[in-house]
Amino acid sequence: MTAFLYALTVLIWGTTWIAIKHQLGLVAFEASIAYRFALAGAVLVCALGLAGRLKPIPWRHQPFVLLQALCLFSCNFACFYLATRSVPSGIVSVVFSAATIFNVANAYLFHRRRPAPRVLAGAVIGLLGIACLFRDTLLGTALNQDTALGLGLALLGTWFFSAGNLVSARNQRHGLPVATVNAYGMLYGAALVAAVALLRGVPFGFDPSPPYVGALLYLAIPGSVIGFTAYLTVVHRIGPEKAAYMTVLFPVVALTISVFAEGYRVTPLAALGFALVLAGNVVVFAPVRALRAQRKGRPEAACKA
pLDDT digits (tens, 9 = 90+) for 216-227: 999 999 999 998
Torsion sign across C-alpha atoms 35, 10, 97, 304:
positive
Q: What average pLDDT does the segment 34-49 reach? A: 96
Torsion sign (Cα): 59, 60, 62, 65: negative
- Comparing CA positions, the residue from 48, 55, 16 lying closest to residue 220 is 16
Would you say residue 106 has pLDDT above 60? yes
- Of 11-20, 21-30, 132-141, 181-190, the one with minimum mean pLDDT is 132-141
User: Count of alpha carbons within 13 Å of 244, Cβ hemisphere only?
Assistant: 17
Q: Does residue 305 surpass a pLDDT of 50?
A: no
Range of the structural domain that residue 199 is part of: 2-304
| Overall domain count for the chain | 1
Model confidence pLDDT, tens digit, residues 278-296: 787 677 666 655 545 555 5
